[in-house]
Structure 1
Amino acid sequence: MITVEHLAKAVGEDKAPVLQDIGFQLEPGEFVALLGPSGSGKSTLLRCLALREKWDRGNFRVDGTDIMKSPFAGKRKIRREWAYLEQNAELNPNRTALKNVLIGQASQTPLWRMATGMVRSDDYMGAMDQLDLLGLLDKAKLKTSQLSGGEKQRVAIARALVHGAKVILADEPVTGLDPKTAENVLETLRNLCKETGLTVLTVLPIELAERFASRLWVLEDGRIKHDVKGRRLTSQERLHL
């Protein structure tokens, strides 16, 4: 279980509040879509949860570990078990899509593998399976510098899945994808949430959020104004989107 209480974050010299008193509980297997107007705090919330931004205030517990009171163990847990996917995927442009998936992030990869680039056959097949699942099998041997933005994002998702991420935080992961590919990616993530207990928090367009997410958060002025089960939002809930 993930528990957040009273999360607050301000930015700039004037300390303008971006997040104000955010609180929630998440169970394994939930697929949460973040909605809200520009500036409502969606990306900042993901960055705070990924520990890419320092919190000004708040409590953060994951599976019994108090992340804020156990700085080393807590941060190590997040870095090893959670995957944060920015709009511009963090990939090595000089490696192929397959190598990016296999080598993964430094926090998830043994030093010997990073140094040698060697992989086991089972790992190789697992990576190819994920690339195939995400429609990238024909791109596996291309360097990521040759891929489109949407293809890079799918490589980042495949990498997270291959390395056993328990939580995926994704900032607009289907931007730049054609509608069919976007639906396939989200269908894959939704099925993994149901079948493996993967937890996903992601910023999505409202029409996709309503179709695929099991839970919808509408952010406004740095707060979660609406927290509802996955469904079509009412006109009142859509008011400021």
Structure 2
Amino acid sequence: MIIVRNLSKTYPPDHQVLQRLSFQADEGELVALIGASGSGKTTLFRCLMLKEKWDDGQFIYDGRDITGIGIWDKLRLGKQWAYLEEKPQFNPKKSALKNVLGALLFKKSWWRFLTNTVSPDDHMEAMDYLDRVGLLDKAHEPIEKLSGGEKQRVALCRALIKGARVIYADEPVSGLDPEAASVILQDFQAICKKEKLLVFCSLHQVELAEKYGSRIWGLAGGKLVVDIAGRRLTQREKDMIF
């Protein structure tokens, strides 16, 4: 689904953040990305979402070379992926349901966009996604009353309902208690398998990457120093990353 060859990124004047990264990631995978602060995790996500220009490298998405595509193609492709922040941005006064429905603006026809029309089918689709992540009983709760873990699950629903095929989750369980973190990552696992999505998830906790990642990537000094199937890391591998 995604093939990258020799991705390099430098910030002026000469700070090389990513150095010749090459990898392949396929649908149905949960790629757990780990590395120390400043290792380049967020920059890698921004490059893959075409939010940052590369210095060098090739990007193939669904068999198409999109390395040098124009702005309109970028906007069109951008609808196929979603970025989940550590602290998702919502309208705090609106309900979980209305915040999820807001993501349908990406799929509406122009007249429904202008009139903000919500059909019964839209309503049922949003409720279905909330049900999938165990939040059906919180559908009408204002976002400001939800826990951090519940907000992340609403953010996941928004990504799914707008039709994202690739999800970039940047530290989605940071600050959550272990139980809430496990629920979020279990949701990611289930969605990857059922919907055949590709999820990239940056994590601080090695144990969570080992438990939930179908692939583990380790970044250090802007280089991909570990790329393995999900399992417990050896001490040597941990030393390479941290």
TM (norm. structure 2) is 0.89
Q: Which amino acid aligns with 2:50?
A: L
Kindly tell me: are residues 40 and 181 of structure 1, through their superposed partners in 2, closer, same or farther at Cα, counting changes over 3 Å? same
Aligned position for 1:49: 48
Deviates more, 1:67-76 or 1:182-191: 67-76
Aligned position for 1:235: 235
Aligned position for 2:160: 161
Determine helix, strand or coil for the equivalent of 2:235.
coil
Aligned position for 1:2: 2
Aligned position for 1:134: 133
Alpha-carbon distance in structure 2 between the residues aligned to 1:93 and 1:112: 27
Contact 1:103/1:113, CA 8 A, preserved across alignment: no
User: 1:123 aligned to 2:122?
Assistant: yes
Contact 1:65/1:74, CA 8 A, preserved across alignment: no
Determine helix, strand or coil for the equivalent of 2:238.
coil
Which residues in structure 2 correspond to 1:77-116 (within 5 Å)?
77-104=76-103, 107-116=106-115
**When the two structures are aligned, how many residues end up with a matched partner?**
240
TM (norm. structure 1) is 0.89
- The alpha-carbon deviation at position 6 of structure 1 amounts to 1.4
Deviations 1:164-192, CA, capped at 9 Å, x for gaps: 21110100112233322322222222122
Alpha-carbon distance in structure 2 between the residues aligned to 1:176 and 1:118: 36
- The alpha-carbon deviation at position 58 of structure 1 amounts to 1.8
Contact 1:31/1:214, CA 8 A, preserved across alignment: yes
Determine helix, strand or coil for the equivalent of 1:20.
strand
Identity %: 49
Determine helix, strand or coil for the equivalent of 1:104.
helix
Aligned position for 1:71: 70
Kindly tell me: are residues 188 and 80 of structure 1, through their superposed partners in 2, closer, same or farther at Cα, counting changes over 3 Å? same
Deviations 1:187-235, CA, capped at 9 Å, x for gaps: 2221222222110001122111111111000000001001000000000
Determine helix, strand or coil for the equivalent of 1:237.
helix
Alpha-carbon distance in structure 2 between the residues aligned to 1:174 and 1:184: 10
Over the aligned positions, Cα root-mean-square deviation in angstroms equals 2.1
Aligned position for 2:224: 224
- The alpha-carbon deviation at position 146 of structure 1 amounts to 4.3
Deviations 1:97-116, CA, capped at 9 Å, x for gaps: 21121121754554434433
Alpha-carbon distance in structure 1 between the residues aligned to 2:136 and 2:176: 16
Contact 1:80/1:108, CA 8 A, preserved across alignment: no
Gaps of 5+ in 2: none
Alpha-carbon distance in structure 2 between the residues aligned to 1:146 and 1:46: 30
Alpha-carbon distance in structure 1 between the residues aligned to 2:177 and 2:131: 17
User: 1:36 aligned to 2:35?
Assistant: yes
Q: Which amino acid aligns with 2:4?
A: V
Contact 1:86/1:170, CA 8 A, preserved across alignment: yes
Determine helix, strand or coil for the equivalent of 1:184.
helix
Deviates more, 1:119-128 or 1:139-148: 139-148
Contact 2:104/2:161, CA 8 A, preserved across alignment: no
Contact 1:150/1:175, CA 8 A, preserved across alignment: no
Kindly tell me: are residues 77 and 63 of structure 1, through their superposed partners in 2, closer, same or farther at Cα, counting changes over 3 Å? farther
Aligned position for 1:172: 171
Aligned position for 2:210: 210
Alpha-carbon distance in structure 1 between the residues aligned to 2:156 and 2:136: 14
Alpha-carbon distance in structure 2 between the residues aligned to 1:142 and 1:112: 29
Kindly tell me: are residues 67 and 137 of structure 1, through their superposed partners in 2, closer, same or farther at Cα, counting changes over 3 Å? same
Alpha-carbon distance in structure 2 between the residues aligned to 1:181 and 1:113: 36
Q: Which amino acid aligns with 2:183?
A: N
Deviates more, 1:16-25 or 1:123-132: 123-132
Alpha-carbon distance in structure 1 between the residues aligned to 2:30 and 2:162: 19
